Amino acid sequence: MAAFVFREKVQDDDFRDAVIDSVIASIHTLDEKGKYWYLTGSTIDRAYDSTPEGSPLRRLMVDLHYHHSRWAWLNDVKNVDFVKDLAGELYLDRDCERQVDPTASYLKSCSYHQYGEALLCYSEIL
């Protein structure tokens, strides 16, 4: 998350999008103990404190917790805006059928990218 916050300071859109992709890849990769990595409360708090409302990183955190988290994972979250955003997603779900999980590893993560003037995804340019 520190890399994403750094990107906010240097304003590099491709770098920000690459950070988003690495977060998504990380949560779908087993560690040496055979466990998956997820965002902890301190990570969420730092990201929310360092990014503006509507940030792709904030949306990603909410989607990851909506689709994958357990109640215990929220014990150390202090940021009220994250909790409100997550609760908002849960309330929206009551009124409509949920679509495909946008954080699935087989999907492109472009829905979390913000394109610069080129309007092309950095991953398609490489």
Report pLDDT digits (tens) over 48-79. Answer: 998 889 888 899 999 988 888 877 778 889 99
What is d(CA 44, CA 42) in angstroms, rounded to the nearest whole number? 5
Alpha helices in 1-126 (DSSP H): 2-10, 13-27, 41-50, 56-68, 80-95, 122-125
pLDDT at 41 over 70: yes
Q: Which amino acid would we find at residue 7?
A: R
Above pLDDT 90, what percent of the chain? 17
Model confidence pTM above 0.75: no
Q: Which residues contact 19 (CB under 8 A, 6 or more apart)?
A: 3, 4, 7, 57
CA torsion 93→19→16→92, rounded to 10°?
A: 0
